[in-house]
Structure 1
């Protein structure tokens, strides 16, 4: 897909080896090149910074795993830090610590990212480290066995955190056997049975340059970075075309639905609730309207949920709404943590708020506040090089182009009351129509949960 050049102050230039960048002055400039091997290199030069953030984004996450190998993407993320043909784990750690930098990674549902944050002077080291880790991992049998215990501990930590566990339960309840509904960490059994051979196959199949993006932001020069990357990768891979943005394999409705209302009993002091309904995939043009709706519903301290549940009723310390969008599915969710004896009342008040928004949408003042919240969050969230790098990598993987701040702000400003009202009538989990609900709390059986929860589910 050919990117559409957005308006200043960011310029977006598409490079394929022969085009010379325009003079930038003090402006941030976004540039994109595609190497012969299919790797996309996207940079944002920020002349006023003294640092550089570099990330290698792989268009593979937990949804790409075979069911029997759940957790493979995350397991592999751990393995890439255990050593390469040139470095062992200690050497990797010592090199990045010597320059006071940060080297880390994370795995998500649809991608994995390996990133370094260093002084601009240390950009060559960051590129060398990242390309070595990502393209020349050893994945030794002994290291796989050593790291297995670490990942099993990570799963246990997740299960000990009620809010983290609740989120996993909610996704399973919402999405059933859709691949996005599976845990990024995998299960105890799948991780315990993961073999080094299986991880090497997953590595070989998915860690290919056409499926990757190298994104960088900070006081960097695009052509210099290209030279560093070519030096590391040229002649190692055949010529190839990049993989396009993920569109999703099939319609969400092709998958079995989840379990409705689910409970994990735990001897804790709070009841944790999450309920929701289907939302939008990330390619839906209404996604900006959904962002505005979410901000007004439960995205801040002036939101309807916060004001009604916490400020006026004092029912919960924490209450919020959230949205998630993937290539072919999405959801809208509401979370609250309250005293176990007040779960029914809390649920009833949340239902009243949701019903009002679903039926009437937002008023003009709410719409303006929500837009202001999104505008401020977007701009203030991009004040450092790591955040800029993340935006570059995600946009290239998800959309095949750079979506600059001005374009996003324009789309937010264009959202109207009528558009939000129409969307609210469809996506807000109104009483009797919630698709999924999950509870973690001191309840022995699902029959002990208050009737208000069953009324929400219908």
Structure 2
């Protein structure tokens, strides 16, 4: 819900402001004709990627593609490619207050780069420096993340995590935390302080550790054929991410 609110206010008036699931009213009024129209408009050969991983040869994949997808059209109606308008970012805030809840869920973000922007990798490294935290973590305040150590020492929050969500031409770079109502200001102050520290006093050893952490995380995601297929279908392959 928190991230639905975040998108609703950050990309207000655009397609990204809508929830992925859609509204109950729209779902109830969805018809077979709507689905057929969507498939006919968007399921075109230039917009499809066929990937395979595991025990399959190139010839077998080509034969399967010819058998199942040879009838897919290469052209759009009236030769018009659907134009997707750019989703603009709007600096704003939204608050849904409910004093009956024991904790507060806070998300703060700035506009991030799209998938194709090289800065995407840089922001992932920055997030690795800030790290993440949960009360269930062991180690007490002896954690590599400076913000996590502060959270433990001063009981700032129950948990926090960073995120870098990218779309085709824009994105959201920020952090989300869960805290007691009386600790919100202190946690926000420390989290924003970590952002400023990224700009002024991050050490070379922190950057190196963050790069190693990110490399390990990216490789760990490719531990099976399903994960490899998802990687093949991304705009950029995982190898691009590892070469930094």
TM-score range, shorter chain: 0.7 to 0.9
> What are the superposed Cα offsets for residues 214-251 of structure 1, whole Å, 9 maximum, x if unpaired?
211112112112212212233x245569xxxx996337
- Matched with 2:145 is 303
The answer as to whether partners of 2:162 and 2:174 remain within 8 angstroms in 1 is yes
Question: Structure 1's 299 and 215: CA in aligned 2 closer, same or farther, altered over 3 A?
Answer: farther
Q: Which moved more, 1:195-204 or 1:299-308?
A: 299-308
Q: State which of 182, 192, 195 in structure 1 corresponds to 2:28.
A: 192
Number of equivalent positions: 230
Q: In structure 2, the residue corresponding to 1:347 is in which secondary structure?
A: helix
Q: State which of 135, 150, 154 in structure 2 corresponds to 1:313.
A: 154
Q: State which of 35, 46, 49 in structure 2 corresponds to 1:210.
A: 46
* 1:393 has 2:233 as partner: yes
Cα distance in 2 for residues equivalent to 1:304 and 1:248: 41
Q: State which of 60, 68, 81 in structure 2 corresponds to 1:224.
A: 60
Cα distance in 1 for residues equivalent to 2:99 and 2:4: 15
Question: Structure 1's 202 and 363: CA in aligned 2 closer, same or farther, altered over 3 A?
Answer: same
How far apart are 1:293 and its partner, in Å? 0.9
Higher strand share: 1
- Matched with 2:118 is 285
> What are the superposed Cα offsets for residues 299-340 of structure 1, whole Å, 9 maximum, x if unpaired?
57623332222x322222211211111111111111111122
* 1:174 has 2:16 as partner: no
How far apart are 1:404 and its partner, in Å? 5.2
Which consecutive residues of structure 2, in runs of 5 or more, have no partner in the other structure? 77-81, 134-142
- Matched with 1:371 is 211
Matches within 5 A, 1:75-90: none
**Larger of the two Rg values belongs to structure:** 1
Q: State which of 104, 110, 119 in structure 2 corresponds to 1:271.
A: 104
Q: In structure 2, the residue corresponding to 1:190 is in which secondary structure?
A: helix
The answer as to whether partners of 2:131 and 2:145 remain within 8 angstroms in 1 is yes
How far apart are 1:279 and its partner, in Å? 1.3
Cα distance in 1 for residues equivalent to 2:68 and 2:4: 39
The answer as to whether partners of 2:14 and 2:87 remain within 8 angstroms in 1 is no
Which consecutive residues of structure 1, in runs of 5 or more, have no partner in the other structure? 1-164, 413-458
Cα distance in 2 for residues equivalent to 1:198 and 1:218: 36
TM-score between the two structures when normalised by the length of structure 2? 0.83
Q: In structure 1, the residue corresponding to 2:96 is in which secondary structure?
A: strand
How far apart are 1:273 and its partner, in Å? 0.7
Over the aligned positions, Cα root-mean-square deviation in angstroms equals 2.5
Question: Structure 1's 247 and 409: CA in aligned 2 closer, same or farther, altered over 3 A?
Answer: farther
Q: In structure 1, the residue corresponding to 2:193 is in which secondary structure?
A: helix
Q: In structure 2, the residue corresponding to 1:316 is in which secondary structure?
A: coil
Cα distance in 1 for residues equivalent to 2:166 and 2:61: 32
The answer as to whether partners of 1:275 and 1:334 remain within 8 angstroms in 2 is yes
Cα distance in 2 for residues equivalent to 1:198 and 1:209: 20
* 1:252 has 2:88 as partner: yes
* 1:380 has 2:220 as partner: yes
The answer as to whether partners of 1:252 and 1:328 remain within 8 angstroms in 2 is no
Question: Structure 1's 275 and 404: CA in aligned 2 closer, same or farther, altered over 3 A?
Answer: closer
- Matched with 1:327 is 168
Cα distance in 1 for residues equivalent to 2:91 and 2:60: 50
TM-score between the two structures when normalised by the length of structure 1? 0.46
How far apart are 1:274 and its partner, in Å? 0.6
The answer as to whether partners of 2:165 and 2:172 remain within 8 angstroms in 1 is yes
> What are the superposed Cα offsets for residues 106-140 of structure 1, whole Å, 9 maximum, x if unpaired?
xxxxxxxxxxxxxxxxxxxxxxxxxxxxxxxxxxx
- Matched with 1:150 is none
